[in-house]
Structure 1
Amino acid sequence: MPAELTPEQSSGKIYPGVLPLLRIMDEEGAILEDGTFSPYVQDVGEAELKEAYRQMKVTRRFDDEATALQRQGQMSLWAPSRGQEAAQVGSAMGLLPQDYVVPSYREHALAFARGVEFTDLVKFFRGSETSPWDIKKHNFHPYTVVLAAQVPHAVGYAMALNFDRELEETTGEKQMGQGQFSASEENAQPAAVAVYFGDGSSTEGEIHESMVFAASYNAPVLFFVQNNQWAISVPFKTQSRVPLSTRAAGYGIEGLRVDGNDVLAVAAATRYAMKKIRSGEGPVLIEAETYRLGAHTTADDPTKYRTGEEENEYAQRDPLIRLEKYLRHNKLADESFFEGVDQEAQQVASEVRRVALVAEPAEYETNFDFAYAKPHTQTENDRRFYREYNAGFEEE
């Protein structure tokens, strides 16, 4: 593990058990002299870093376009991810195709890294489809809007992976979980689960319950919390006196605290964690400390509770700018590369707008069809109530 926590690595009072902040690249894009986790990203070269930048940049442009669409009345709500791209792309670099990813509702860069189309994300927020992308193809769960509700599901899936392996050892027959595909022969490592949530969700009971079950059943699951410092209008210091990674010890699992704006550090931490998880050493919690540069959602006005000084301070730590500085300083990318990425980002934004303007909202009544696998009395009663309620309005 890294050395003891220094005052520069802590933003407040140091409590016993607070973990040091893992960093590999500083705000200026310079590599720091800490080789503890560096071996986990030794194979990350020019191609991988340029791809990481591309994913982050295109996501940023898509995010801006989606925000504009909401402001223009084309979507009722949008959850921006501006400022959190490195945490998501870096973690994606530590996952394998056979890993099952369970997001919350602002993991846009992570979705992109897993091959999900941005147009599908817009369809979800526009209400056209509840699960527009192919879950089995991408091993990427549908977005979950209810805070922390996805975390017990992720742990249950991870527990099922263990049960499948036990059956395989007993029967000798390969067990295939729903939505999971086999690893290729070149990449035949055990599948695991990665679940994402925010610092606000960390105070929900589902998180505690999930970690208890994950630890008790030694489930192969990575808890990845993006601490963007604000749970809507409540600052993180109000939610917790210590970094969230400190809580892991209470469940008997390992916790890591990483600079969430450092794509290399996040990739290294995720690879380290997934190696432990795949080897059967139990769950791991990663806290990626980042910052929400924009609003919590488009229904939010952060100027009501955040100061301009704070926002300007964190703007200097923008993960996209940090990676660009690294690429330029080390002459890994020239101007033509950055121009090409900008052009791609604009093309993606244009396609997203085109799809959004023609995507029709789904019929509300279809929601009753997906509550249960088979017809159910309760949902049929709810359907009948909805029809009667809807019929009570005068036609325009």
Structure 2
Amino acid sequence: MLDSPAGEPPRDELVQLLDPAGTRTEHPLYEPYVADATGERLLSLYEDMVVVRRLDVEATALQRQGELGLWPPLLGQEAAQVGSARALRDDDFVFPSYRENGVAYCRGVEPRDLLRVWRGTSQSGWDPYAVSMATPAIVIGAQTLHAVGYAVGCRRDGVDTAAVTYFGDGATTQGDVNEAMVFAASFAAPVVFFCQNNHWAISEPVGLQAQRPIAERAPGFGIPSVRVDGNDVLAVLAVTRWALERAHRGDGPTFIEAVTYRMGPHTTSDDPTRYVDPLQREEWAGKDPIARLEAYLRAQGVLTEQAEARVAARADEVAAAFRAGCTSLPQPAPLSIFDHVYAEPHAGLDRQRSQQAAYLRSIGEVAE
């Protein structure tokens, strides 16, 4: 393996600042990037992860109860999402896949807006410009091209805004992701490629498509890369801040491989018991991202009984509002499917709207 350029970690190293037992370690390159992550700051990250997990569990329950058509769980990936999201500036723009509900929560998306598309009441969930985050991309890997295009635009506009795009290990085999890296490297785009390697592309284990660590692919395109313990929120925060610093100062793209594990199904239509080795799942349960930070905070005297009760109460409050918001989402008007398809008036779409309205009237339905 080639040596990494100066100032970058070895490409086969897994950056870790908090081990599964909750023991703090130091890293010469990344320590300055988490100098502020002490006391209340760490407690805030802990609260984020607890709330995000509670929302995820609640959404899964809502789907099982028939309130949602589908839900993509993120159980076990809370540190990867919260740590990276909390590293972002307000003006940085996120291009997610369909599993980044924890990132969306950290970006300020209203919890019930996470559910609109999965309940089928909207083709989208929120205003991307209000929270600097695009809505979920279902087409695997397509969002990486969108992120690079946005980042190139930022560079040409002379602003130091960065884009970050999220995708899974399975998406790295898609042409879109590789093409996005070609363009990012060619145009020095200020973009962070954030791969959540959760070990499964639906039922396909990562080892079938990646004979070497995924982070090793990016340097072939001329993009620096780093592997990080995706269950270590502190390490993820540090590595993402490092990558964003490169983007903000004009040093181009960075690739992050956050090594984590999907503890639940790919989506609620999936049955992982058909292909997951229970011993492997048990092994990863011992690396739980929330448990390790909890152990550290207890040892530091930060997570007191009062603080734990406050976090639990906050999770209960958000979950209750989440459920109530889901069941109170209004049904869309029949013709609203034609809204927001194009930014400008479009004759073909107007014709289709008119035809659909005529059909609805012919069967006694109200066309609005």
Alpha-carbon distance in structure 1 between the residues aligned to 2:360 and 2:260: 44
| Aligned residue number for residue 157 of structure 2 | 164
**Which residue of structure 1 lines up, in the alignment, with residue 43 of structure 2?**
50
Give the C-alpha shift of residue 42 in structure 1.
1.2
SS at match of 1:24: coil
**Distance between the aligned counterparts of 2:361 and 2:75, measured in 1?**
42
1:41 equivalent in alignment to 2:47: no
- Deviation, 1:298, is 0.4
- Shift in Å, 1:76: 0.3
AA matched with 1:271? R
Q: Secondary structure, in 3 states, of the residue corresponding to 1:322?
A: helix
| SS of equivalent to 2:14 | coil
Give the CA deviation at 1:64: 0.7
Structure 2 residue matching 1:287: 3-state secondary structure: strand
1:108 is aligned to 101
For structure 1, the residue ranges without an aligned partner over 5 or more in a row are: 5-16, 166-174, 176-189
Asked if residue 129 in structure 1 is aligned to residue 119 in structure 2, the reply is no
- Report the RMSD for the aligned CA atoms in angstroms: 2.2
**Gaps (5+ residues) in structure 2?**
5-9
Q: 5 Å matches for 1:123-202?
A: 123-165=116-158, 190-202=160-172
Cα drift, residue 116 of structure 1: 1.3
Q: Secondary structure at the match of 1:96?
A: coil
**2:45 alignment partner, SS class:** helix
Q: Which residue of 1 aligns with 2:17?
A: 24
CA deviation after TM superposition for structure 1 residue 394, in Å: 10
Asked whether the 8 Å contact 2:163–2:191 carries over to 1, the reply is yes
* Runs of 4+ that moved beyond 6 A: 387-395
Aligned to 1:186: none
User: Are 1:84 and 2:77 counterparts?
Assistant: yes
Distance in 2, Cα, partners of 1:140 & 1:44: 24
The letter for the 2-side match of 1:195 is: T
Corresponding residue number in structure 2 for 1:238: 208
Could you tell me the TM-score, scaled by structure 2's length? 0.91
| Deviation of 1:377 (Å) | 4.5
Q: Between Structure 1 and Structure 2, how many residues are aligned?
A: 358
The Cα of 1:375 is off from its aligned counterpart by: 3.4
2:291 equivalent in structure 1: 321
Percent identity over paired residues = 44
- More deviation in 49-58 or 144-153? 144-153
For 2:179, the equivalent position in structure 1 comes to 209
CA offsets 1:146-185 (integer angstroms, 9 cap, x no match): 21121111111111101111xxxxxxxxx8xxxxxxxxxx
Alignment of 1:281 onto 2:251? yes
Match among 36, 46, 55 for residue 62 of structure 1? 55
Offset from partner CA, 1:272-328 (integer Å, 9 cap, x none): 111111111110000000000111110000001101111111111110111111111
Cα distance in structure 1, aligned partners of 2:71 and 2:132 = 23
Other-structure match for 1:351: 321
Write out per-residue CA displacement over residues 227-257 of structure 1, whole angstroms, 9 at most, x where no aligned residue.
1000110000012111111011111010010
Report the CA distance between 1:390 and its aligned residue.
7.1
On the 8 A contact 1:84/1:260 being kept in 2, the answer is yes
Show the counterpart of 1:336.
306
Whichever residue aligns with residue 77 of structure 2, its letter is Q
Q: Which amino acid aligns with 2:89?
A: L
Separation of aligned partners in 2, 1:36 and 1:18: 14
Per mean C-alpha deviation after superposition, the further-off stretch among 124-133 and 376-385 is 376-385
Tell me whether 216-225 or 27-36 shows the greater mean CA deviation.
27-36
Aligned match of 2:90: 97
TM-score (ref. length: structure 1): 0.85
CA separation of 1:48 and 1:130: change in aligned 2, threshold 3 A: farther
Q: Residue type of the partner of 1:65?
A: E
CA spacing shift, 1:74–1:281, aligned 2, 3 Å: same
Q: Check 1:294–1:377 CA distance in 2 against 1; reply closer, same or farther (3 A cut).
A: same
Structure-1 separation of matches of 2:264 and 2:364: 40
- Alignment correspondent of 1:170: none
Which amino acid in structure 2 is aligned with residue 95 of structure 1?
Answer: L
What letter matches 1:38 in structure 2?
A: E
Preserved contact between residue 126 and residue 361 of structure 1 (Cα < 8 Å): no
C-alpha contact (below 8 Å) 1:18/1:242 kept by paired residues: no
